[in-house]
Chain A
């Protein structure tokens, strides 16, 4: 069973609207949580990274929240643009011998329409 679950699988919104993507995880113990944006045909690019002590982090129109108690995170996109069309991937790192151990969600495919 995947330790990182994302919802919805896909989402279509109109340009200018806001949206929120969800991530639930079971990785424990927890080190940090990242959100990546992956454009079609490209590799993932980091948007935000949060440790267990942080509950919100912004990057322009992207705001990530984290509730380490309920093991949930969300990515809120404000005033969406056509260029926001991409897959958004939630990635959770555990605390282990390998600090690079990351668990990837399957992603949410966002389409922004004019």
Chain B
């Protein structure tokens, strides 16, 4: 099916481990994003990408690494997981609307627990 998918949906890892969250979209949208969602906070932008091989930091990038070798994939890596990175992670892709604004389409999320 077309759309945006994330894997895994649930992940438990230990402090200090490296973990990669995958995101795949079938729309060929140029922009892709990674957010984290924590209780009591709005979604916060971790990294975004305007196109393949172009990435940039968002509001909370520390401890995360991204890459985008292909338009459809945008993996997020936690190089050395910490308990503070326990969160729900959402990937999104963006399409330009008539009128010039953008609409973001979100994946189902990955719930990550760091023990």
Q: Decide: A103 and B92 in contact? CB cutoff 8 A.
A: no
Q: Decide: A100 and B109 in contact? CB cutoff 8 A.
A: no
Q: Which range holds the interface residue count of chain B? A: 20 to 34
Pick from B35, B42, B97, B103 the residue with the most CB of A within 10 Å. Answer: B42
- Kindly provide the distance from the CB of B19 to the nearest chain A CB, expressed in whole angstroms: 20
Contact with B along A16-48 (1 / 0, CB 8 A): 000000000000000110000000011111100
Q: Decide: B106 and A99 in contact? CB cutoff 8 A.
A: no
Q: Who on chain A is nearest to B35 by CB? A: A104
Whether B82 sits at the interface, judged by CB under 8 Å, is no
- Kindly provide the distance from the CB of A62 to the nearest chain B CB, expressed in whole angstroms: 16
Q: Who on chain B is nearest to A4 by CB? A: B42
**Which of chain B's residues have a CB closer than 8 A to the CB of A51?**
99, 101
Q: Decide: B102 and A99 in contact? CB cutoff 8 A.
A: yes
**Which of chain A's residues have a CB closer than 8 A to the CB of B90?**
43-44
Q: Which range holds the interface residue count of chain A? A: 20 to 34
Whether B60 sits at the interface, judged by CB under 8 Å, is no
Q: Decide: A49 and B103 in contact? CB cutoff 8 A.
A: yes
Q: Who on chain A is nearest to B38 by CB? A: A106
Contact with A along B97-115 (1 / 0, CB 8 A): 1011111101111000000
Q: Decide: A43 and B101 in contact? CB cutoff 8 A.
A: no
Q: Decide: A49 and B107 in contact? CB cutoff 8 A.
A: no
CA–CA, A43 and B37, complex, Å: 10
CA–CA, A41 and B100, complex, Å: 31
- Kindly provide the distance from the CB of A68 to the nearest chain B CB, expressed in whole angstroms: 15
Whether B31 sits at the interface, judged by CB under 8 Å, is yes
CA–CA, A73 and B96, complex, Å: 23
A-B contact pairs, 11 of them (CB 8 A): A43-B90, A43-B109, A44-B90, A49-B101, A99-B100, A99-B102, A100-B33, A100-B94, A102-B45, A102-B104, A104-B43
Residue ranges of A at the interface with B (Cβ–Cβ < 8 Å): 2, 4, 31-32, 41-46, 49, 51, 89, 93, 98-100, 102-107
Shortest 6 CB-CB contacts between residues of A and residues of B: A43-B106, A104-B42, A104-B43, A106-B42, A32-B101, A44-B106
